[in-house]
A and B are shown apart, each in its own frame.
Chain A
Amino acid sequence: MAEEALELGIIQCDFKKKAMEAIPGGGNLDMCFACGTCVSGCPATGLADMDPRKFLRMILLGLDEEATKSPWVWMCTGCQRCIYACPMEIDIPRLVYLARASWPREERPKGIRGSCDMALRNDSGSAMGASPEDFQFVVEDVLEEVKDTQKGWDNLEAPIDKKGAEFFINQNSREPVTEPDELIPLWKILNIVGADWTYGSKGWAAENYCMFLADDKSWEHVTRTSIMQAQELGCKVYLNTE
């Protein structure tokens, strides 16, 4: 005897509807051929029993909870190789971002959340929590040591908040916090080319874990603080070192 048919109910696709409103141009979510080009080109394929096509198809079927709550959304790096390869340019990375954002903040991975929270502690934007004072101390200390111990670098500079400098330069926290000697080669290069540059006491940190956390408000705060500092100092170019 045949089993009773499954009652599927009305497919709501709430997440899909929300996503199509949030993604610029709608993300072409309805245009999937199911060709699998994204799957074969994605290093996250198979992790957590998921892949980009499966993720998209589940969303299109209204399996919102099953798709968005998969740990896979934290294993996709948002590298955009899927959208680069996709014949219909379906915006899977932004869909994954929105899935991340659908998790209650306190349930998102602790490491990413902690790094974002560190960046919110002060104006540095540093995922390692280094304050503007810490940064200034390290920069001055390292600079002094180079001048004392290495020949020919009496004119070496590492300015912070220099008004009107051409370049506003950011720096990953890893250098000042864990390997300060790695700051030096860049300073020497900038000195040799005669660049007029500065760090900012606000927004000197280059990294932004709040974006990875899919925390819009905090991501905006970190980016805005840095960009505003560059403009307030009258810098001409915002120069990323990574």
Chain B
Amino acid sequence: MTFSVLEGLRKFNIPCKIPVKSIYEYYAKWIREGKLPVNSDWNKDLKLKFTVQDPCQIIRKSYGDPIAEDLRFVVKSLVGEENFIEMWPNRSNNFCCGGGGGFLQSGYTEARYAYGKIKFDQIVATGADYCVAACHNCHAQIHDIAHHFEGKYMTVHLWTLIGLSLGILGPNEREYLGDELKGLNMPEE
């Protein structure tokens, strides 16, 4: 968890000579450098809509808006700019999903749902078919509130979409994709 590392290094004066980074930055860099040849062709006809969760601990609490831009660049490269819809508010001003701070394990489940209703409504307002959640607490909470409030959106990891776009996603690596994507862009057997 990015924030626990960065804040832990600061708070406890842990000697660290190497930079602590987020993989979002590298996904973006690798796409820009042509090392990760992703595209959104798979979504040209499907036109599935995507929104993205800005994880507080990576965006607001760690690297700020520049990494939010990297995240958007990656997602737009994967799904097509025309299929990307922002939640509002977003980036450093985004709402927490309610999965952070240990809330998922705290035992206060009803309070966690009440908290998460804001996020649920925010996602539903975009009309997106998928919410990209590239933070495990966010992923678990956003997935769970969809189920709890009977939402129709799916919750997906970033690596799943990258794999889908590259045509390298095996049949067992599609747990978080909907039926329309279960067999799309399958690698050769």
Contact = CB atoms under 8 A, between A and B. Distances in A.
Interface of A: 43-44, 46-48, 71, 74-81, 84-85, 109-112, 114-115, 146, 149-152, 168-169, 172, 174, 179, 181-182, 184-186, 188-189, 192-194, 206-209, 211-213, 216, 219-220, 222-224, 226-227, 230-231, 235-242
B46 interface: no
Interface string B21-50: 111001100100001100000000000000
Given A81-B60, A151-B187, A185-B173, A43 B98 contact: yes
A81 B189 CA distance: 48
Contact of A74 (B8, B96, B108): B108
Given A74-B106, A238-B19, A223 B5 contact: yes
Nearest to B134: A242
Interface stretch (B9-17, B79-87, B123-131): B9-17
Contacts of A226: 5
A193 B30 contact: yes
A182 B173 contact: yes
Given A71-B108, A110-B107, A211-B8, A239 B23 contact: yes
A20 B127 CA distance: 45
Contacts of A169: 23
Most buried by A among B35, B99, B159, B160: B159
Interface residues of B, number: 69
Nearest to A174: B136
Contacts of A231: 16-18
B51 interface: no
A185 B118 CA distance: 31
Contact of A230 (B18, B106, B115, B163): B18
20 contacts: A43-B118, A74-B102, A76-B101, A81-B93, A109-B106, A112-B105, A114-B105, A115-B105, A182-B173, A185-B159, A192-B166, A193-B35, A193-B36, A207-B136, A220-B14, A223-B14, A227-B16, A236-B18, A240-B58, A241-B23
Contacts, number: 205
B186 to A, nearest CB: 11
Contact of A181 (B14, B106, B175, B187): B175
A182 B14 CA distance: 31
B169 interface: yes
Contacts of B188: 151-152
B92 A184 contact: no
A182 B175 contact: yes
Given A185-B162, A237-B19, A227 B9 contact: yes
B168 A79 contact: no
Contacts of B9: 223, 227
